[in-house]
Amino acid sequence: MELTGKRIVLGVTGGIAAYKAAELVRLLGRTGAEVQVAMTEGATHFVTATTFQALSGRPVYLDQWDARMPNAMAHIDLSRQADLIVIAPASADFLARIANGMADDLLATMVLARDCPLLVAPAMNRQMWENPATQRNVRQLGEDGVAFIGPVSGEQACGEVGAGRMVEPEDIVEAVIAHFAPKCLAGRKVLITAGPTFEAIDPVRGITNLSSGRMGYAVARAARQAGAEVTLVSGPVAFSPPQGVDRINVRSALDMHAAVLARAADSDIFIAVAAVADYRVANAAEHKLKKDHGGVPAIELVENPDILAEVAALPEGPFCVGFAAESRNLDDYAQAKRRKKNIPLIAGNLIQDGFGGDDNRLVLFDDAGSHPLTPAPKAVLARQLIEHIAKLTGNR
């Protein structure tokens, strides 16, 4: 799992977003992390320590005089045990206290005594967030090397709308995974296609395929977590873009072709994960086709450009990676495709092993031969693919 063996101390401070910290504990636990919760007194007015104890499977620490630590130094022991301290939600008061180096409760003392990185997810009323005092504290903490995630804009518990909402627990987990991921593509520009394309027959109908976009989005997320600057050209899918990824929405293969070719020359790496329609409708109707007019319509198809092959043929183009979803003869078909498109690396999968699911079975094919990866969730395979790409492009 992504965070197996990582020790995270989650500090919860007083704010209504504290209820979301409960979900955060659950999600972090699912990534394999060991989560130790510590709360301020204020936080206990919103969620009980019992909730966090049940979800983390560990007793929760509430004050610096906790007698459970054999040396009576909860603040030192907790911070020494941590690979990362996450404060979520971080209240305005808490930011003010740690920006000034105060040590007036267990959490603040632990932050001051830490020798590990600190990630904070602020949550407060929008006016409290915009207040010059809070902004000054945020600037100071940034200068002190503290990492921030959020806040975001939206509806607030007080009924107002504005900046100050805590980012969702899923996004905090992503930031934590990104924190620990090796930065093997730091500074590289990576262009990725994902999802299906939609080829219009008329304004309301079209030809598409069952690609969910999950693999392409997982690859985009893994590339971003590896430190790359990621642009994701995406066909119609149901997901939001991963954090920090620049998404360009397209519909048809021709749209995708234009969006990719406008950016390919400026990219270091191009990963074509999209299931691009091989053909589009030549005679797409401007108006909705009517059943009772002129019998069964004839749909004429013309071939779409092969985006990957075109990018691979660019002089001084990016390092190109393709995907091959096959229903049989994976090795032969994938290697043949790799040679035909003249690309250094292709990731093949057998469609019957999962199309649209969370898990996948991938084999990487390059000049050195084939590298089967252990079947795993797409997020894990995506990271292995990114590491393989980083290895192959190491000296470029």
Among 31, 40, 193, 212, binds ligand C5P (CB under 6 A): 193
- Picking from 194, 260, 182, the residue whose alpha carbon sits closest to that of residue 222 is 182
Q: Taking CB under 6 A as the rule, does residue 109 contact ligand C5P?
A: no
Q: Is 264 in the site for ligand C5P (CB under 6 A)?
A: no
Within the chain, residue ranges assigned H as helices are: 18-30, 49-56, 74-81, 92-99, 106-112, 126-130, 132-143, 169-180, 214-225, 253-264, 307-312, 330-341, 378-392
Kindly state the smallest distance separating residue 234's Cβ from ligand C5P, in Å: 12
Residue 323 Cβ, how far from ligand C5P at the closest point, in Å? Answer: 4
d(CA 341, CA 360): 24
Rounded to the nearest whole angstrom, what is the least distance from the CB of residue 273 to ligand C5P in the complex?
Answer: 6
Hey, what are 275's tokens? Answer: 């299931």
Least Å distance, CB 327 to ligand C5P, is: 12
| 386 lines the binding site for ligand C5P (CB under 6 A) | no
Q: Which amino acids are annotated catalytic?
A: 158
Residues 219-238 that bind ligand C5P (CB under 6 A): none
Tell me the helices (H) and strands (E) count for the chain, helix number first.
13, 21
Q: CB-wise, 228 or 307, nearer to ligand C5P?
A: 307
User: Is position 304 an interface residue for ligand C5P (rule: CB under 6 A)?
Assistant: yes
Binding letters toward ligand C5P, positions 145-184, x by CB under 6 A? ----------------------------------------
Give the residues across from 282 on adjacent strands.
Answer: none
**Which two structure tokens, joined as six digits, stand for 252?**
């048809």
Decide if residue 253 touches ligand C5P (CB under 6 A).
yes
For position 31 contacting ligand C5P by CB under 6 A, the verdict is: no
CB-hemisphere CA count at 13 Å for 350?
A: 11
The answer to the question of residue 272 lying near ligand C5P (CB under 6 A) is yes
Closest distance to ligand C5P from the beta carbon of 25 (Å)? 38
Restricted to residues 307-336, the positions that interact with ligand C5P (CB under 6 A) are 307-308, 322-324
Structure tokens at 159: 């009924």
Half-sphere exposure of 146 (CA within 13 A, CB side): 26
The nearer residue to ligand C5P, 240 or 327, going by C-beta atoms, is 327
Tell me whether residue 376 is exposed, middle or buried, using C-beta atoms within 10 angstroms of its C-beta: 0 to 12, 13 to 18, 19 or more: middle
- Residue ranges in contact with ligand C5P by CB under 6 A: 193, 253, 272-274, 276, 304, 306-308, 322-324, 337
